Structure 1
Amino acid sequence: MNLIRVLVRNMSQMKPVKKVGVIGVPFEKGQKKYGVSVAPAAMRYAGLLDKLKEIDGLDVKDYGDVDTHPCQETRQTVPSVENMSDLALVSVCNKRLSEKVSQVLRDGRIAVTIGGDHSIGVGTVDGHYNVNEDMILIWVDAHADLNTNKTSGSGSVHGMPVALLVKELSDYWPYLPTMDWQVPKFSIKRLGYIGLRSVDSYERLAIEKYNVPTFAMEDIDKHGIVNSIQHVLQVLDPEQKRPIHVSFDIDALDALEAPSTGTPVRGGLTLREGITLMELIHATGRLRAVDLVEINPALGSGADRDRTLEAGVAVLRAALGFSRRGTAPRGKLDLPIQTPPHN
């Protein structure tokens, strides 16, 4: 019997949602490299919507792009925050995104958000939490994104979204102008990491202090991707009832698999591991939101760009029910595998 089928039967009896709402977020001010803002357009041009519609029974609706242009408030003089670049722009984008994610979820659809840099995780998780307060968050990334403005080496907000979201770290922040709309309510006890391999010292301290279930690449090498995600889900949701949010940074994949990204780190997940991870989460029936961020079509060669976009499409298709097995007659997949006799 197929191993994934056995594991899924033990993990959940819920049926996956078959309606999807796609949101584009052409935003790149959470980091300093040009190009990540064109990823939503590039993903659509690469055929994302049509390839999602090929999944049997999946109802796909494109909600368009979030308006990332400055509002009147950000055009006025806003007090700056030390070591936080473009905070006002990050804030207005995420506020609009939060509202859009909540709308998609209330429409009964899985919210699929295409970034943009990972600072948009503030808006996607906030919007999801406003609808499902019992949600859990799986952060798939080479980086923990747990820095504050006091610990960040770059001042780029795409390295801070988790720290901005979790209530346990709220006292470590100064007052953040324009961010009054976002009150940290999500608990770090509902967070798990997959794929880490570039973690700063402060981030490591926070992970250890709060005992966040974390499978870095060395752990995945030892235990395998299936056991790794099973353990994280069991720790965060032992009763297997909570809605799942996956925030997937394309740099979680090895740089050979997805070279067109701003902060590539060698030694990451293979595309097969990334697909298996998302297949398992899909099969729980509890996936309600998924982000795909940090694809930068302006970096690398044309072949690098195409390879990265193809990887992103494959990850999302796996999350939403595409089967690598194709179609097979009912019951045939559970037949025992016959081992040929040795001569």
Structure 2
Amino acid sequence: MTHTNKFITSKDISIVGAPFSGGQPQGGVEHGPLRLVEFGLNKQLEELGYKVDYEANHDLESLKPAHDPVFQNLKNPKFVSAVTKKLAGQIEERAKQNKFVLTLGGDHSVALATVSGIFAAYPDACLIWVDAHADINTPEATESGNIHGCPLSFLTGLSTSHPDFAWVKPVLKTGRLAYIGLRDVDDEEKKILKDNNIKALSMHHVDKWGIGKCVDICLDHINPNRDLPIHLSFDVDALDPSVAPSTGTPVRGGLSFREGHYICESLAETGLLVAVDIMEVNPALESEESVFSTVQVGCSLARCCFGESLL
């Protein structure tokens, strides 16, 4: 069952590979996109009636500078900036060609590219961020220095002082951002979320209200008339490690298999979804069996975003 999309008239999906691990310390996450494609994701989406093109972007490593010291607490700032700037241009171009953009990560620093690119094409879009982590640390506040924990601070304009990310425009208003599945949030981030009145639903809220009501609450806040484009950025670590074990920063007590899929299904049903990121699948972590189940769930989440449903 496919739903009429209110913004995209074509049946074209542009899969953008973002095989990049520079936003965090663990190698392997750069192999996530290829594993999802090798598992047959393109064919699965074609079977749902879409025309799919895939850009692997295997050459991102060539953008790595010879010298990239820690600056303003951030690790690999020049590398992360160069890669995300390149991908942002590509994603913007595909979105403006009236294609649905599905970005496969890579670590979540790649959201600097996806949100920049999609919001350049759809300036009034809103963002649903499904993640165990809020990823809204400022360079001053980050304890780890890993940029995958910081993209939303740049995209919302809360961070503006880092010269390597001067190209990132504050395209995302805090009133257009909502979170589902949070369970590992730094103190400084908690303050940012409260001070900016950002709709942030943790696993406590999912337990209290159920996933259906949580999705409705987020949409009521960021898209009250259900007339704005929706960008979904889904970090597989939002899922419980029993569901998606092969990810860099797993935290117990996450979304169940069905809760994760419900989010994708219900957003597909709105007919407003224009872009999806599936992030942080890391085939180098855990056993081959764990990798298989994580890749399988990544593909399955993507299919739900394109209208695959239980009945």
**Which TM-score band (shorter chain)?**
over 0.9
- 147-156 or 108-117: which moved more? 147-156
* Change beyond 3 A, Cα 1:50–1:265: same
Output one character per residue of 1:194-251: Cα deviation in whole Å (capped at 9) or x when no partner. Answer: 0000011111111111111121101011111111011111111112111100100000
Amino acid aligned to 2:57: D
Deviation, 1:13, is 8.9
- 2:305 and 2:5 map into 1 onto residues whose CA distance is 17
TM-score, reference length from structure 2: 0.94
TM-score, reference length from structure 1: 0.86
Q: Please name the residue that 1:106 is paired with.
A: 96
Deviation, 1:181, is 2.1
- 148-157 or 302-311: which moved more? 148-157
Instruction: Decide whether the 8 Å contact of 1:126 with 1:182 is kept in 2.
Output: yes
Q: Please name the residue that 1:288 is paired with.
A: 274
Deviation, 1:65, is 2.1
Q: Percent identity?
A: 37
- 2:146 and 2:7 map into 1 onto residues whose CA distance is 39
Amino acid aligned to 1:62: Y
Instruction: Decide whether the 8 Å contact of 1:16 with 1:285 is kept in 2.
Output: no
Matches within 5 A, 1:126-205: 126-167=116-157, 169-170=158-159, 173-177=160-164, 179-205=165-191
Instruction: Decide whether the 8 Å contact of 1:66 with 1:97 is kept in 2.
Output: no
Amino acid aligned to 2:226: Q
The RMSD of aligned alpha carbons is: 1.8
Q: Please name the residue that 1:332 is paired with.
A: none
Deviation, 1:66, is 6.2
Deviation, 1:16, is 7.0
Give the 3-state SS of the residue equivalent to 1:288 in structure 2: strand
Amino acid aligned to 1:140: V
Q: Please name the residue that 1:94 is paired with.
A: 84
Q: Please name the residue that 1:35 is paired with.
A: 28
Matches within 5 A, 1:27-66: 27-55=20-48, 57-65=49-57
Output one character per residue of 1:100-137: Cα deviation in whole Å (capped at 9) or x when no partner. Answer: 11111111111000000000000100001111110000
Matches within 5 A, 1:1-343: 14=6, 18-55=11-48, 57-65=49-57, 67-71=59-63, 74-75=65-66, 80-167=70-157, 169-170=158-159, 173-177=160-164, 179-325=165-311
Question: Which ranges of structure 1 fall in alignment gaps of 5 or more residues?
Answer: 1-7, 326-343
Aligned length: 308
Output one character per residue of 1:162-192: Cα deviation in whole Å (capped at 9) or x when no partner. Answer: 111102x13xx53323x23222232111100
Q: Please name the residue that 1:336 is paired with.
A: none
- 1:303 and 1:276 map into 2 onto residues whose CA distance is 24
- 1:260 and 1:175 map into 2 onto residues whose CA distance is 32
Kindly report structure 1 stretches of 4+ aligned residues shifted beyond 3 Å. Answer: 12-18, 77-80
Question: Which ranges of structure 2 fall in alignment gaps of 5 or more residues?
Answer: none
- 1:66 and 1:292 map into 2 onto residues whose CA distance is 17
- 1:217 and 1:16 map into 2 onto residues whose CA distance is 32
- 1:36 and 1:260 map into 2 onto residues whose CA distance is 9
Instruction: Decide whether the 8 Å contact of 1:100 with 1:127 is kept in 2.
Output: yes
Q: Please name the residue that 1:329 is paired with.
A: none
Larger radius of gyration: 1
Deviation, 1:80, is 4.5
